[in-house]
Structures are given as C-alpha cells and as structure tokens.
Amino acid sequence: MPRSQNHIANKTQISKSTELITEKEDQSFVLKKGEREKEESFSAIREGRENLY
C-alpha cells in the first residue's frame, strides 16, 4: 500500500473515532440535562406539597 493511501486510511480512522467520542459526550450531556430537569421537577413538587400544608 502506498504511503499516501495509508495516511488517508489513518485519517478516516481518526475522524471516525472522534465522531464516536463526540456522540458519547452528546449522550451524556443529554442524560445530565434530563437528570437536572428531574431534580428541578422534584424540588418543584416538594415546594408544592409544602405550600399545600
């Protein structure tokens, strides 16, 4: 295999792995956002209950 082709193959490999990494980061960000929203709604529910009594 000529060096240039090998170099191109390595570049594609690298870009693919970076795409995977960013995808994972996006998923964990969405997950954290969801958990934050859950906590916010729980605290809102707690405040609501306190207001009822």
Q: Is the pLDDT of residue 3 over 80?
A: no
The pLDDT, as a whole number, for residue 53 is: 58
First to last CA, the chain: 77
DSSP string, 1-51: --HHHHHHHHHHHHHHHHHHHHHHHHHHHHHHHHHHHHHHHHHHHHHHHHH
In the chain, what percentage of residues exceed pLDDT 70? 91
| From 3-7, 17-21, 45-49, the region with the lowest mean pLDDT | 3-7
Mean pLDDT within 29-43:
83
Query: Residue 17 sits in which domain range?
Result: 1-53
| Local structure of residue 52 (DSSP, 8 states) | H
Structural domains counted in the chain: 1
CA dihedral 28, 32, 38, 44 (to 10 degrees): -160
